[in-house]
Each structure stands twice: as C-alpha cells, then as structure tokens.
Structure 1
Amino acid sequence: MLGDDTWGGLFPGRFNRAFLYPSFNVMDLHTVDNGVISHLDEELARDDWDIIIAHFLGVDHCGHRYGPDHPEMELKLLQMNEMIKNVMKNIEDDTLLLVLGDHGMTRTGDHGGDSVDEITAALFAYSHSLNIPLPLQHQSVPFPVAQVDLIPTLALALGVPIPYSNLGRVIEDLLITVNHTFEEAAHHQVFSLELNVHQVANYLEEYRKHGSEFPDDMWQRLEFLSEKISRDLHELPLDKQKQVFVEYLTLAKLMCEEVWAKFSMTGMTSGLLLMVAVITLAYLVLSSEVMADDEMCIVNRIFYITLFVNALFVFSFYISVVILGLVAFLVLAIFLYFHRSRFSNIFAKIDLLEIIPLFIALSVCLGTFSNSYVVVENYVTAFLLVSVVTVQVFSSFMKQQKKKSVYGLPSKLVKWASNYWGLMSISSLLVVLVCVRISSWFWKCREEQPWCIPGHVHTTLAGLPQVMRNWRYFTSVFSLILLTWLPRRWLMMCGNLNGSKLGVVLVRKVPVICSILVASHWALQAVPSLQGSPLRMYVVLPPLLTYFFAVFLMALLFFVPLLIYEVPPRKDDIGPVTENPYNCIPQLYHSLKAKYSTDNPKRQSIPIVYGLATAVSAPLVGTLIVLLIVIVLLAGDGVSPGILLLVGTTVACLSAQAASTWMNADSLGDVMKPSWSSVCTWFMLSLHFFYSTGHHATFPSLHWSAAFVGFEGQWGSSNVIPAILVGFNTFSAQIIFAFSLPLIVLCPLSFGVVFPKLRNSRLEGEDTRQGEFLFVEDRKIAASSLLFTSVLYIILHAIKVLFSAASAFILRRHLMVWKIFAPHFIFDAVSFIVTSFFVPLGVLFTLRIIDVLDMFGVYLRHKYS
C-alpha cells in the first residue's frame, strides 16, 4: 500500500529507501514529492529492479490543508500529471504502470468515513504492451475494481503465487497484451481466474475448519458453484467459464464482507441504550439511598429498572433500533419527570465547588471522541488529577471563608495556610504535584508518540549495561523496603500491630518475607550465568512463594480481620451494660472513658484495647501491602520506585481530603459522609496509576513478561495462570483502587485520631476520638456512606466506558478505529468489569470487619459485665 496519500505511483521495480522515507514537514506540500521525482528517472534507467514504489504525499496534504477546490490543488495535480507523462515515456514495453490512491476525500478535504467520495479512489493502468479492450476505454463510468483486486493481479503479472489469504478478484483485462490473439487472451483470462478461484476456495475451506461460520445461504451457493466448476465447467464455452469464475469470486468476497466488514447496528445501538439505562439505574439507587428512608423504595426501584433494562435487551432483537431508542428514552423521561423532586433535591445539596471536580473527571470521558486525546491520555490524565486535587484543596478554603468575616483574599489565604488544616492541605498538594511529575518517568511510549523517548525502567536488569545494574537494583530494593515499611509503620503508630495473635503476627512478618523473596527474584534474574543452567528452575521459587504467602494472608484477614490487642485489666466492674448487642460497644466505650479518667480510683483495673480507632481500615491496609508487593513483582524492578510514588500520591490525596473534611464539618455526619470530589479524585487516581505503571490502552503495550514471573512452562499447556498474571498486572490500578475504595470513607476518622489537631473545634461536644469505631456505633451511616461511594465510583467508570463505546460506534469508519478507538473501548470495558467486581469485594470485606467488631463488642460485654 502507498500509505496515507490521495495519489501515488506503483511501478514494477526495486524498493528504494532513498526516496521512500525522506525527511519532511507535515504541512509541506512539495518536499516529499520533489524528492521522489528527483530520484525517479535515475531509478527507472537502471536494470536491476523488478518493482519500484514511488510514494507521493503532496496531494493528500493539500487536500487536508486547503480542500480539493483550492488553486494549490490544481498546481499539485498538474505536477502529478507531468510526472505520469514522463514515466509513461521512459518505461519499457514490458513494464506496467499503476497510479492509485488508498482513499478519496470529501468536499472539505477529509477522509476516514464511509461516504462514496471517501472510499472511492482512482486507478490508472498503462503499459506500451497492454491491449485493454476498446469498449472499456470509452465507458462513461470507469470500470470498478476493489483495491484487494490488485493483489492477485500483480502476483500473476509478476509470475508469483497469489497470497494465501487473498480475497480479491484478478483484473483479467490488465493481463492481456498486444501479442495475444483473441483466443489466446480468452484462454489466459480464464486460466488466471481459475487459479484465483482455487486459491480463494482453499482459504475459505481452511478458515471454516477452525470453527468459523459463514451465512448458510451464501455458503451453499458457493458449494454449488464449486461442484459446477469441478464437474462440467470445461465443457462450457470460455465466456460461460469466465462468468462462473467471476460469480464465485464476487460471491466469496460479498460473503466475507457480510461476516467481517459489517457492523451490527442493532446490537451496538441496543448496547448503548442498555448502558444508559444501567447508569440511570445506578444513579437512582444512589439518590434513593441519599433521599429515601424506606429501604423497600430502593428494592422496588432496583426491580423495576432491572425489568426495564432486560425488556430493552429482549426487544432489541425484534424492534427497530430507532423505535426502541425512542421508547427507551421516553420511558426514562417519564420516570424522571415524576421523580424530578428527588433529583432536584439531591443536586440542591451539592455545592458548586463539588461540581467542578466532577466536571473535570467527566472531561476525561468526553476526550475519548478524539484520537489525538486518546494518544496522549496519560499526559491529560496527570494534568486533570492535579487539577482535581487543586480544586479540592482550594474549595475547602473557599468554604471556610464563607463562615468568616476576614477581609482581603491574600490575608485570608495566609491565615488559612498558617493553620493546621491549611498547612496539611498545601503540603499534600505539593506532594501530589511532585509525585505526579516524577511518575511520568515510568510511562511507556505509545507507537503514536514519536516525541517520546523510552527510558530504561521497563528494561530487565539482565538487559541493562553493567554499569547501571547495581544502581537500578539497589534503588528498586530501597523503594520496595519503603513500600513495605511505611504502611507497617502507620499500623504500628495506630496500635494495630501489638500482641501475638495470628493475624497480627502475619501482617508484621509476611510483607517482610515477601519483600525479601521479591528482591531475591530480581537478583537471580540479573545473574547471567544462570541462563541455560539447571539452577534456572529455582528462579521461579521466590515468586511462587510470594503468591502463596500473599493469598494466605488475604484469606486469613477475611476470616480473622481484627488487628487489635486487648490488655487484660484487673477484674473490676464496669457498670451495667444494656442487653442490646448493637448498642454495647458505644456504651462500653463511654464506660471505659469514664473509668479511665484521672479521678477514677479504679483506673488501673479497666481494660485497654489498642487499635480500636483504626480497626476497620487496618485489615484493608494489611491486604493492600501484599497486593502492592505482588504488583511490584509482576511489573518489574524498574517500576518499583514509580509504584512508591503512586502510593505517596494516594496518601497525599487522602490527607488533603481528611483536612478538607474536618475543616468544614459541622457535625460527625459530615465527617462520615464522603464528598463527590473525593470520589472523583479516587477515580482520577485509578486512571493515573494505570498509565504510570507503564500501561496504555493498546495491545502492543501489554506486559507479556508478567506471564513468566513464577511460570516457565511447568503448568503444561494451560494458559490460565499466565493469563491471570498478565491480567492482574494490566489492571492492577483498577484492582487496587476498587478494593481500597472504603478508605475514602474511613480516612477522615482515622486521620482525626492519629493527628488530634486536625479535629474541628466545633465538634468538641461530640466524641470524635472514637475514630472508625463510629461506624460500628451507627451501622446505617456506615452502609449509606459505603453505598454512596461505591455507586458513584462505579458510575464514573461506567460513564467512561459508555463514552468509549459511543466513540467507537460513531467513529466506526474512522481511519484509526482499529488502531485507537476499538482498543481503547476494549480496555475501558475490561477495566469497568474489573472495577465492578472488586468494588463490592472491598465493601463486603469492610462490612465483614464491622460485623466482627460487633462480635468483639459482645465478647467484651460478657467478659467485663
């Protein structure tokens, strides 16, 4: 093919790089063409070539820049016309000249769609020895041929076999020369068509053997023609034989187009409608939880909307998509009209400053309609993440100033930045800025990013120069140590790693063991002498042990999630406790508080429990430690510092959220309810994590090396384990942030306990020192907050995949649909599936922890009553 041009020249001759790839500017109309023309006569004069390809770009650039009716286009076409005349004079008698384009253009100079002007391009054929029939030359409408027809024609003209997977029909008139008599020409045409038919028939038969299906009616017609060809075709006149061959090749191409080149408009439209309905369903669940007190209201809405979604799917097979779309949106409009008060109420409670981060997050979805945006989505995502955090920080400042009477914005800002909340917010924002900027070092280059210079972070240790190996190895190990030590330090500071219970001991020891195993695996991989050695088989042992310990710890934390330590007090009476087990923990807490006061004579006999204030988030953090170690193992040692930066970015975002929450909270209910902006930040973090671990929404960017971490063929022919490893590596961002989503709800309370100065003085009347223990006290708020966060987070991912699907649907005829839009939609769809699975998993794990805390309260009640 000649590339992205409107006209080009194809000459039998030698492939010459000198004029195929000269340097040029995108908007330059002449540099490439003049370079090709300057070499063309010299190459034609040589006798050592069989094929020459001359690639002209000026007409294409002129069409894009000025359109087909501009005077510049006339000049370019005149230049091409003179070039073709010159080539026609200089070629030998046995040379075939073909001038063709790979596409047409619209009246505005564009292409990539499916209009006639765009998919029709000229084909000019000339040779001194050609004998093209005169009626064909005088037709008012040119003889139509498909571009795939060039393949068998050129193959037979050059005397080489037709390619195996060709579906084109030979242009038989281009194979007739002036030396052929009429009878010889007819025999030659029929023989060429017969070769073409046998090649296509062999390909279709082999294709069907691999389980592929064709339309029955068309396949039966092809079989009938095949039997006719093999049985009595040679008894027919030559013109009848030619007619049968042409009919077979035409039908074969139409049949394959029916299977391969057609879009199911009904399926695509109904799928988009179903996605809209499901997103509406999720939002209704969200609004019901916020606004409705009756739990049956939520159940009823889920039932009716689910029934509506399934009805859409069933009717999509029987009703026109236009009618179906109108009915679907009419039903949704009627439903929203009768429930408009609920929607107006929920949006009335959202501050304008909360809408801005939501708008920024949704702008990611709008960008999917641009191929230029998709190519640089990693850059845009990083910028928008910083924008969301910046808006969140300064919106908290603006909310606080509404309650004060300090005049002058500079003085307000200085005073705000000098207090504890402002200092923590500004510091968190600076950390996010630095970490996001440095994390760009760990991006991987797309094929469409020629400006991108690939680094060495994704190169294995064994592939690095010797001088760089030690530096990279010890930097990676140091990052792995920090990645393990910092979360453990947090848990120790919160009092969750005291005692000798099995869960506590394993959370203390297993991450350290896994880190040592990962560092050992990296060291063994870098030893060149192990390549081909029998000791090579032991390289897989550290990853396998890491997988085992990680799975074992996560399973144990699900069944025994409490990371607390109870110091047995002296036997003493703690007062009467109510018989209601759901109220015993708050009553026990207040009793312990009273008995622990300095004027209590029984102070030494009260029970002491470490880690209760962070008992809900501690198992989540313990699980995330081993998950991150496995991600580092699969991503490779070079990405270890990048993942450490991403963890720092996430912690900084949580710190900014906690400061903003406590700064503007008027009640504990405000602290326990997450904001829209915090969920939007989490959504942007998941996208940023995806790109900053070296991934892109393209198949060439998949880290296939992850399939062999701990696996080198010992599982036989099964691809299940390698597929799981590659999938876990590719969608690790979605897994981590979906599973850890409850941290958005928990972090303000846990930060308020660890950093007491963070707590708002307006809430001194309420006991804010209970931390996450408040969710045990009020299960309804806990369930409501988790449901709100989960549904909103899934809605954001659903909207993103909806826009990706819509862009692939609308731009299905775009030049870059299979290169950019279709892979982007596939990755977004799989990301949404992974997110939809791990978000409920993380919420169920959190609810499991709260249930066990309830049981622990019952245990304390019986023990100290």
Structure 2
Amino acid sequence: MKRGLVERLENDTLLVVIGDHGMTMTGDHGGDSELEISAALFLYSPTALFPSALPQEPEIVPQINLVPTLALLLGLPIPFGNIGEVMVELFSVVEDPQPHSSALAQASALHLNAQQVSRFLHTYSAAAQDLQIKELHRLQNLFSKASADYQRLLQSPQGAEAALQTVITELQQFLRGVRAMCIESWARFSLVRMAGGAALMAAACFLCLLVSQWVTYPGFYFCPLLLTPMAYGLAGAIVCAGLLTATGLKPDPVVLGAMAAVGSLLPFLWKAWAGWGSKRPPAALLPIPGPVLLFLLIRFAAFFSDSFVVAEARATPFLLGSFILLLVAQLHWEGKLLPPKLLTIPRFCLSASTGPPRHNGTHALGLGVGLLLCIRLAGLFHRCPEETPACHSSPWLSPLASMVGGRAKNLWYGACVGALVALLVAVRLWLRRYSNLKSPEPSVLFVRWGLPLMVLGTAAYWALASGADEAPPRLRALVAGASVVLPRAVAGLAASGLMLLLWRPVTVLVKATTGAPRTRTVLTPFSGPPTSRADLDYVVPQIYRHMQEEFRGRLERTKSQGPLTVAAYQLGSVYSAAMVTALTLLAFPLLLLHAERISLVFLLLFLQSFLLLHLLAAGISITTPGKYISQPWFIQGQ
C-alpha cells in the first residue's frame, strides 16, 4: 500500500507517517521508558528535501515540533499554545539557483514560529506567575535581538550568509530555551507531596471510620471534632514552620498544611485508642459487608492499570453491577433475607403462623433491579476521555446556554428545576415521615426555610446563565452581577447549614421528664411475626417503650459527660437525618460547578444511595446478643 501511494505522489506533495508511541521488546507500551515514549517519523517527497546526505543514525526531534512544521507547510496559522520548533530541513530549497535562498526560507519559518511563541509567552506570563523571571527576561531580550537582526537582513540581503546563520542560531536558541523553561515549570512532580497526600487521605478515611463507630454511643459529641483539632493543627503548623526556619529551609505551604492536618488528627486518634480501641476488637472497626469491601479494593486497584482510563466508562458500571448481584446472592446464601422471629414466648388468645414470610427476598431483589436500572440510566450522561477520540460524549452534558431553540431550552430548564424541587420534596417528606421536622432546633429550621431558598437561588442562577446572551443591553450589567452574587449566596447558605449541623447534629428533641421514679414496662408475650395492622399497633409501641427505657438508662449513666438531648422517635430508617441533611447541603455547591442538566444525575445519585443503603440494611439484623442495640452508621436512625 505504501509503495503504491509513493508512486502516485506529485512533486509538491509530502508524505508524513508517524506513530503515536513505541513499545519495548516485550510489548509494553504504556510506561515512560525511552522505547515507549519514542515514535517513528517517516517523511518522503519526490522532490529532494535535504541538501546533504542523510546521517547514518536517525535524527531525534521532539514530537511537538511537528505542529508548527505542518501548520506552515499547509499555509495555516500556528496554534497559539504551541511551544515547538519548526523542522528547518523541510524549508530548504535544494535546486534553487539564487544564493542563500534556503537559509532565508529557514530564517523566515523560524521567525514566524518565534513570533507565535513570543506572543504565547507574553500572554501566559501575564496570567501565571510560575515561570522563572530571570530566564524569561533573557529569552525576551534574545528574541528582540534576533528579530531586529532578521528585519535588518530583509532590507539588505546581499552578502549576508554568515548573518543569516547567526539569526537562525539565535531563533533556535530562543525556541529551545522557551521549551526547556516551560517543561521545567510545568513538569514538576514531588513524590514527597504525593506520598503525603495519599497518607493524609488514608488517615482521613480512617478517621471517618472511627467517627462512624463512635456516633453509636450517647457520649459522643461533635464539638471536640471541630475546636480541639483546629488548635492542634495550628500548633503543628507553627512547630513545622519553626523547624524549617531553624534549619535554613524555606517553609512550604503544602508541607505546613500537611503538618496541620496531621496535628489535627492526633488528639482524636489518641482518644480513640485510649478510650475505645482497647475495649473492642479490631474487627469492629470494619462493619462493612464483604462485597462492599471487595468492590472498593477492585476500584482502587484499577487506578494502577494503564488501560483503565480508556475503559473506565465500561469498567465502572460493570463492577458496580457485579457488586450488586454479588451482594444479593450473598444475602440469599446466608439466609439474611428472611426476617427472624420477633419473640418465641407464646401469645395468649392469638395464633400466628410460625413460618417466616418470604417478602424480604422479593424486596431485596426489587432493590437490586432498581439499582441496575439506575446504572443503565446513568450511562446516558457519559463523558468520553480525551484518549478516545472515537467516543462521543453525551449531548446532555452541555450547558443550556449552548442550546439553539427557545422551546427545547425551556423544557430542559423545567426538567432541571423539577429535579431540584423533587430532591427538596423527597428530603422534606422523608424527614417529616420519621418525625425529624417536629423539632425547633436550628438545623431543622434551616431545612424548613434554608433549603427552599437554596433551590430558588440555584434556579435563578441557571435562568440567568442560560439566557445571559439574550438579555437586553441595559440589563447585562445587572445580570452579570446577579450571576456572581447568586452562587456565592447559595454556597454561603450551604456552609451555614453545615455549621449548624455540626453544632447541633441531632434533629429531634428529648421530651422533658420529671423526677418521678420510673417503672419498667411489662411486655406482653408475643409469638411469631405480625400478620396484620392490629398486630403492628400492638407490637411496635412495646418495642419502643423498651428501647426508650434502655436508652434513657444509658443517658443517665453518661450524664456527667455533657448535655444530653438525644431521643429516638418511631422506627427511624436506614440512614440518619443528619446524613441526609449534610448530603443535601453538599449537593447544591456541587451543582453550581456543573452544567444545569447534571441536576438529573444528582437526583439519580440520591436514588442510587437510597436503594443501596436499603439493600445493605436488608441483610443486617437489628438484634444483637449484647445488652444494647448497636447498628452500623448506614442503618442508624434519629
């Protein structure tokens, strides 16, 4: 094929054959070795390209040099962000009778290339401050001198062969110096910072795990997690800055921040080890189902695969779907989908079937099917990585401002606002269903009034952003100002809500009690599962009466640790009201960072979380052989 193509080439045609990367002798092609990052470049034309004989060994040129070379050969402008250097050999005129024509053509190509690089360097240095100032001034002076010499040669080109070669050398020095300076500034990787960041992330995950276990105890408070770590973190940063200054090293903000984060973790880790870790087995720190842990490990290991970036859009849904099927199969294999008998003491004057009903298995299967359906729907909002040019991203990810047609834009805007309203209504209905909106606590008041304001602000911002180009000229300044104020207001409301939630995370109040002596409730025996509404009305109040007495006793035993305002109302749910409120508040700032139609994805994520947590809770028994009821974080209700 190549031979037939070469035979058909005209004299003014250049054949360029280039590979994207090389590979080692064993076939590896995703690393950073010399053989893997080198690619072959083949140039051919019926017209002679090089004035002298070719060298024995192939010449090595940077791949970025191909961009300005092809741009000038095709008569196109050189891309603005290019820092490559033209291949001057391709601009030689071998059979031209006029003297110095090849050198003049090479100098012209290099000068055009240098002008483009100089414009980019001037613009980039004005926007960013990461280039070396001294080297930048030297390169600018070199370009000014070479450009002045080139302009002088154009006015008197006779007898200037040596001057032309000097100009070519100066322009090449400028281009290569700019490339070296940019590479030194952009390709700086600190392995120490990377390792420190990974260690901090692992420590933060471990801290979240400890907190999730401590919240099951009434003596746990969130205020020490906010105030004490801040003091320790500030002390750690001051100590680190003092040590670096004493040793003559320049304080690095990243290192100072890392030491502050490490210092903030120390008091809590020490308290956890001294007051809690030694009293419970280490296995209690991982109350995570096996499939969940296996899925997380596989997802983490996938990042070390070279091909995962390309196949991520297909691999992640496959892993998630496999995890759901594995979880359902494990729950069925272990018999956890069948509810246990409530009590085994016979009940007087009432008979019930002793065989457990099998509706829980159907319920878990329905949750699994719902999750698989959500995964399929999430595929409609896929974004292709840059490494896969054949892939096409979903058109639903583009902002509404890029849409043409007012009717379609209005329909999509209504769908996005509808997703926000659906999220707000779902959260409020859930909180009302589990008696969390009956409290006058600040966090509950914020949910009542703050969340609707955040929805209104987000919807108004989307309306302004989608129609900013269509606004009248006299209102464009007002629209621009509102487009800046509204996102900041929504983010400020979210931050205020999170602070209120950290201050008073409980969203139900304890009922005031008198000092009268308490008497234990006598439970009427009951056998078998409830089979009717009357049975539920008979059993549930007794269960909660007993739970409140047990919980009140625990509160009294830990009364010296601080104010106690926690109480349980109704049966709760598989997630706490505080977690639902926190996730809802965090969703709004994240929505403002994406296009409007991503709100549908956030609503889908909340639905997936709802189904997944219910599926996980389906296989966890609420009865424990211990004295108290202890539940993992994802099945704690308020």
TM bucket (normalised to shorter chain) is: 0.5 to 0.7
Change (3 A) 1:188 1:358: same
Change (3 A) 1:655 1:244: same
Query: Which residue is equivalent to 1:491?
Result: 431
One of 372, 375, 382 as aligned partner of 1:436: 375
Q: Give the whole-Å Cα distance in 2 for the aligned partners of 1:434 and 1:349.
A: 33
Query: Which residue is equivalent to 1:387?
Result: 322
Q: Give the whole-Å Cα distance in 1 for the aligned partners of 2:414 and 2:288.
A: 44
Query: Which residue is equivalent to 1:180?
Result: 97
Q: Give the whole-Å Cα distance in 1 for the aligned partners of 2:468 and 2:105.
A: 61
- Does residue 645 in structure 1 map to residue 604 in structure 2? yes
**1:775-823 CA distances to partner (integer Å, 9 max, x unpaired)?**
xxxxxxxxxxxxxxxxxxxxxxxxxxxxxxxxxxxxxxxxxxxxxxxxx
Q: Give the whole-Å Cα distance in 2 for the aligned partners of 1:269 and 1:98.
A: 42
Structure 2 counterparts to residues 841-860 of structure 1, below 5 A: none
Does the CA-based 8 Å contact 2:295-2:319 persist in structure 1? yes
Q: Give the whole-Å Cα distance in 2 for the aligned partners of 1:190 and 1:472.
A: 55
Aligned-partner residue type, residue 614 of structure 2: S
Query: Which residue is equivalent to 2:216?
Result: none
Change (3 A) 1:416 1:482: farther
One of 355, 374, 377 as aligned partner of 2:312: 377
- Does residue 213 in structure 1 map to residue 131 in structure 2? yes
* Shift in Å, 1:230: 7.0
Does the CA-based 8 Å contact 2:139-2:178 persist in structure 1? no
Aligned-partner residue type, residue 248 of structure 1: E
One of 74, 81, 95 as aligned partner of 2:3: 81
**1:126-150 CA distances to partner (integer Å, 9 max, x unpaired)?**
465x5954xx226534566666666
Query: Which residue is equivalent to 2:302?
Result: 367
Q: Give the structure-1-normalised TM-score.
A: 0.46
Q: Give the whole-Å Cα distance in 1 for the aligned partners of 2:132 and 2:167.
A: 20
Q: Give the whole-Å Cα distance in 2 for the aligned partners of 1:146 and 1:506.
A: 59
Q: Give the whole-Å Cα distance in 2 for the aligned partners of 1:159 and 1:528.
A: 37
**1:706-744 CA distances to partner (integer Å, 9 max, x unpaired)?**
xxxxxxxxxxxxxxxxxxxxxxxxxxxxxxxxxxxxxxx
Does the CA-based 8 Å contact 1:104-1:120 persist in structure 2? yes
* Shift in Å, 1:153: 6.6
Structure 2 counterparts to residues 833-844 of structure 1, below 5 A: none
- Does residue 660 in structure 1 map to residue 619 in structure 2? yes
What is the SS of the residue equivalent to 1:360?
helix
Q: Give the whole-Å Cα distance in 1 for the aligned partners of 2:210 and 2:357.
A: 41
One of 392, 400, 412 as aligned partner of 1:460: 400
* Shift in Å, 1:223: 6.1
* Shift in Å, 1:487: 2.5
Query: Which residue is equivalent to 1:573?
Result: 515
Query: Which residue is equivalent to 1:171?
Result: 88
Q: Give the structure-2-normalised TM-score.
A: 0.59
* Shift in Å, 1:285: 7.8
One of 181, 184, 190 as aligned partner of 1:259: 181
Change (3 A) 1:127 1:180: farther
- Does residue 748 in structure 1 map to residue 621 in structure 2? no
Q: Give the whole-Å Cα distance in 1 for the aligned partners of 2:290 and 2:359.
A: 26
Q: Give the whole-Å Cα distance in 1 for the aligned partners of 2:582 and 2:430.
A: 14
Structure 2 counterparts to residues 662-741 of structure 1, below 5 A: 662=621, 665-667=624-626, 671-672=630-631, 674=632
**1:315-357 CA distances to partner (integer Å, 9 max, x unpaired)?**
9x9xxxxxxxxxxxxxxxxxxxxxxxx9xx9888899994443
**1:69-119 CA distances to partner (integer Å, 9 max, x unpaired)?**
xxxxxxxxxx323432332xx53xxx3645443557456788676535863
- Does residue 589 in structure 1 map to residue 556 in structure 2? no
Aligned-partner residue type, residue 646 of structure 1: L
Change (3 A) 1:558 1:608: closer
Q: Give the whole-Å Cα distance in 1 for the aligned partners of 2:616 and 2:454.
A: 31
* Shift in Å, 1:649: 1.8
* Shift in Å, 1:361: 1.7
* Shift in Å, 1:664: 7.7
Does the CA-based 8 Å contact 2:78-2:113 persist in structure 1? no
Does the CA-based 8 Å contact 1:131-1:178 persist in structure 2? no
Structure 2 counterparts to residues 179-198 of structure 1, below 5 A: 179-180=96-97, 183-185=99-101, 188=104, 192=108, 195=111
* Shift in Å, 1:589: 2.0
Does the CA-based 8 Å contact 2:331-2:619 persist in structure 1? yes
Q: Give the whole-Å Cα distance in 2 for the aligned partners of 1:435 and 1:661.
A: 24
User: Alignment RMSD, CA only?
Assistant: 6.1
Query: Which residue is equivalent to 1:564?
Result: 508
Structure 2 counterparts to residues 27-66 of structure 1, below 5 A: none
Does the CA-based 8 Å contact 1:567-1:608 persist in structure 2? no
* Shift in Å, 1:655: 1.9
Aligned-partner residue type, residue 434 of structure 1: L
Q: Give the whole-Å Cα distance in 2 for the aligned partners of 1:218 and 1:636.
A: 38
Change (3 A) 1:251 1:398: same
Query: Which residue is equivalent to 1:717?
Result: none
Query: Which residue is equivalent to 1:852?
Result: none
Gaps of 5+ in 1: 1-78, 291-298, 318-341, 405-414, 578-584, 594-606, 675-744, 751-771, 773-865
Does the CA-based 8 Å contact 2:384-2:392 persist in structure 1? yes
What is the SS of the residue equivalent to 1:646?
helix
Query: Which residue is equivalent to 1:511?
Result: 451
Q: Give the whole-Å Cα distance in 2 for the aligned partners of 1:350 and 1:495.
A: 30
What is the SS of the residue equivalent to 2:300?
helix
Change (3 A) 1:651 1:354: closer
Change (3 A) 1:269 1:346: farther
- Tell me the number of residue pairs that the alignment of Structure 1 and Structure 2 aligns: 521
Q: Give the whole-Å Cα distance in 2 for the aligned partners of 1:229 and 1:643.
A: 55
Q: State percent identity of aligned pairs.
A: 18
Does the CA-based 8 Å contact 1:393-1:660 persist in structure 2? no
Does the CA-based 8 Å contact 2:103-2:164 persist in structure 1? no
* Shift in Å, 1:168: 1.9
Q: Give the whole-Å Cα distance in 2 for the aligned partners of 1:287 and 1:639.
A: 30
Aligned-partner residue type, residue 483 of structure 1: L
Change (3 A) 1:146 1:529: closer
Q: Give the whole-Å Cα distance in 2 for the aligned partners of 1:391 and 1:153.
A: 55
Aligned-partner residue type, residue 180 of structure 2: E
Change (3 A) 1:100 1:261: farther
* Shift in Å, 1:650: 1.1
Most deviating of 364-373 and 544-553: 544-553
Does the CA-based 8 Å contact 1:421-1:660 persist in structure 2? no
Q: Give the whole-Å Cα distance in 2 for the aligned partners of 1:190 and 1:638.
A: 51
Change (3 A) 1:668 1:416: farther
* Shift in Å, 1:472: 5.2
Gaps of 5+ in 2: 214-228, 250-276, 340-353, 520-547, 557-564
Query: Which residue is equivalent to 1:791?
Result: none
* Shift in Å, 1:497: 2.0
What is the SS of the residue equivalent to 1:497?
coil
Does the CA-based 8 Å contact 2:434-2:569 persist in structure 1? yes
Query: Which residue is equivalent to 1:701?
Result: none
Change (3 A) 1:209 1:499: closer
Change (3 A) 1:145 1:98: farther
Q: Give the whole-Å Cα distance in 1 for the aligned partners of 2:171 and 2:328.
A: 66
Does the CA-based 8 Å contact 2:400-2:409 persist in structure 1? no
**1:243-294 CA distances to partner (integer Å, 9 max, x unpaired)?**
544543454444344334469999454445545655776799899999xxxx
Q: Give the whole-Å Cα distance in 1 for the aligned partners of 2:377 and 2:502.
A: 36
Q: Give the whole-Å Cα distance in 1 for the aligned partners of 2:370 and 2:418.
A: 20
What is the SS of the residue equivalent to 1:662?
coil
Change (3 A) 1:396 1:255: same
